[in-house]
Structure 1
């Protein structure tokens, strides 16, 4: 029996696993390895707070492009009264992904551990994965589906009142004493943190700070259809695309939402065509504006945020943190903003700055770079791969049995973190991976995938 190892058990790894097993004609087993043991849930869907909602309607969130009603049928079979445009709790969506994995339970082995090194399959030898605890896994092919890595903001020393990763299990549970909270970041993670900690205690006040001080925009209660965006012919340049997008917004009565939705499917192609300088300019000056219109929040969540702001329980600051010193009673933070430097004393400091761009923080990626089995994209946002997800080695050659998908491809595709993009990548990857195995003998001995469990 052939074995495929999935490194990462969140949405990317889970969707890759089910698409692979759904298409496999012969005997195949997937070893799904998740460092936190949250198989099917990952960082995004492990939350237990029912107020954390999906940022897209249920009809858009099926695990399968060719079966858009799959999630709706599952939810209704579970006794939920769900309409196409309803925003389900993320915990419910996590249950759905677990259920989808369960359809293939007899062909999936779930392991918990952190993969720290990988030797790709070559010369008739299987891939060898080494986990942090020293255990090993052999596989005929490997998919790197590690998702987003949380950036760890720094304080002087460690303190239980500093939350470096709000998505680690139980990280927000202690924030129940009513002390003020400073959240670094004003994006989707901040919104979730603010909703959770203000519900936990009626006196909690949240301060949120970021360089732009911009919040995610809400979805419309009745969304408009995607708008046509007339892009200029010829050379793809950031300035020309920007002017075309602004013209489309004006022609659409100032509605950014419909324009962004119309442009979204074309983003990977545009991103690939941009020069390296244009990509850097976009990341430096326009990315945040794109993100707040692209990654919107449900109307009910937007109403919660508006109420918190109106009652003084959520304040948004424009600036940056210059230092943070934690002690037994809380954290003293120095901020530098439009009003000049200021000092803020809070009971809790929460890092919500989003995914890290520090690839060296991941020992597996370090190992792949050092061995030449993978290479960084030029922007240092992730890995380079071909159109089907085959990782490119140091010389730019695709490796036929080493793949990746999802957030690791942000530097190449930019739009690659939402379920619709990831499930399409998972389908393409499955086709390419199975084709790569067709002419190769099985390299893993029977039950060798269980080596990590011994």
Structure 2
């Protein structure tokens, strides 16, 4: 046991990207184990979909793993047979928006390339992590894996069932998780459908339904009735925010500055998306300069508006939504869902409308697309439950992930950092802010790799001695 043993739990984008960075940076004294129950790495929730209607949300040229690899995925994809077989991937401005599974294939190829040039060792254990004690990780299949440093790359728990559907949790007419429920693909084409949520997952579901030839009415329901915006079509130079002195220290101040920049950009015939892109590039710095009070204010009041402008959809998907809206097949309902009950073989949904009054929809099927229940992350996995019971992790103050320090080391409920326990990816966004977009998660993975390798192995083993094998 002379090698540094780094164990990564979770083999989606965050975990696979961290493994790639460790293979690139580590030496022969490093052994990497990645625990992921899926047979294929790099998929996770987003990139495991096999539906050809599900495309990456930004041009392939912007899906970069590092600044030095800018445009690499775009070049790779254009050389694949899949590019020739998918004519819809090429948009009118020359950008390509591949099916999401193509990015997972690209990342696995990058992992294989990193392995070929590495002196460190790597293995994928297809299993579930259950518990962590005395420098060892215990798996569902009974393995005991030695650990010097453990990294949690667990980010997206299952969606939370809306309260009005709790009594219908086993009802076949309610799809609680469209990512896992195959009945979405056997839905009758004339069925009247209600979709709960109007974000990115809703857009995916509608793209899937339209691809299948669905002709029935679709009712999308959310509190504000806001849809994700379309990505830019065309090529523009980057926009830089007009500097403010002093910089805002409040959410309201930043909102005012962003609106002023959108107005300035419009006067120069430059779209608002460019302004938001520059905010995104600075988002981690902006976020960490805000007080906890201001961060909470953002989540309470502005997050839904940020999400629909920041997390945009591919123009192919935007075109599908636009056609459905124009034809009247898709209706957007802004309001609060108050009740759901069976009436004559259908589901009756009663809404309190945002603009006042109530409305009842009678539908054949309900699809819940409210997204991962990040506030339930720690309760979603046996390993996380075990670590919380040991007081080694706790939820962050915003309730969107796991509490970490500036090094992304997990914090105990009393604020003690653990230098053998790290969090990579979106679960650390309470501290770091913008950790949902791919470039930011890739940068965070490289940051974590540097943090892991900088800690002397002797220090770790003095604090957490393992049983001898």
Q: TM-score of the superposition, structure 2-length normalised?
A: 0.86
> What SS does structure 1 have at the residue aligned with 2:339?
strand
Q: Is the 8 A contact 1:389 1:425 kept in 2?
A: no
Matches within 5 A, 1:397-436: 397-436=416-455
Cα 1:205/1:35, change in 2 over 3 Å: farther
Which residues of structure 2 form unaligned runs of 5+? none
Matches within 5 A, 1:37-52: 37-52=39-54
Which residue of 156, 159, 167 corresponds with 1:151?
Answer: 159
- The Cα shift of 1:102 comes to 2.9
Residues 1:368 and 2:387 aligned together: yes
Residues 1:99 and 2:124 aligned together: no
> What SS does structure 2 have at the residue aligned with 1:43?
helix
Instruction: For 2:104 and 2:371, locate their aligned partners in 1 and report how far apart those are by CA, in whole Å.
Output: 20
Which residue of 305, 316, 322 corresponds with 1:289?
Answer: 305
Matches within 5 A, 1:354-393: 354-356=371-373, 357-363=375-381, 364-393=383-412
Instruction: For 2:263 and 2:330, locate their aligned partners in 1 and report how far apart those are by CA, in whole Å.
Output: 32
Q: TM-score of the superposition, structure 1-length normalised?
A: 0.88
Q: Deviations over 1:347-371 (max 9, x none)?
A: 2211111221224532433332231
Residues 1:114 and 2:128 aligned together: yes
Instruction: For 1:274 and 1:397, locate their aligned partners in 2 and report how far apart those are by CA, in whole Å.
Output: 22
Cα 1:102/1:234, change in 2 over 3 Å: closer
Instruction: For 1:39 and 1:266, locate their aligned partners in 2 and report how far apart those are by CA, in whole Å.
Output: 30
Cα 1:236/1:430, change in 2 over 3 Å: same
- The Cα shift of 1:383 comes to 1.4
> What SS does structure 1 have at the residue aligned with 2:450?
helix
What CA RMSD, in Å, does the superposition of the two structures yield over aligned residues? 2.7
Q: Is 155-164 or 412-421 further displaced after alignment? A: 155-164
- The Cα shift of 1:162 comes to 1.6
Cα 1:195/1:234, change in 2 over 3 Å: closer
Instruction: For 1:177 and 1:445, locate their aligned partners in 2 and report how far apart those are by CA, in whole Å.
Output: 59
Residues 1:342 and 2:344 aligned together: no
The aligned counterpart of 1:262 is: 278
Which residue of 9, 12, 20 corresponds with 2:11?
Answer: 9
Which residues of structure 1 form unaligned runs of 5+? 120-124, 449-454
> What SS does structure 2 have at the residue aligned with 1:216?
coil
Instruction: For 1:113 and 1:176, locate their aligned partners in 2 and report how far apart those are by CA, in whole Å.
Output: 36
> What SS does structure 1 have at the residue aligned with 2:281?
helix
Q: Is 371-380 or 186-195 further displaced after alignment? A: 371-380
Q: Is the 8 A contact 1:37 1:111 kept in 2?
A: no
Cα 1:178/1:102, change in 2 over 3 Å: farther
Number of equivalent positions? 441
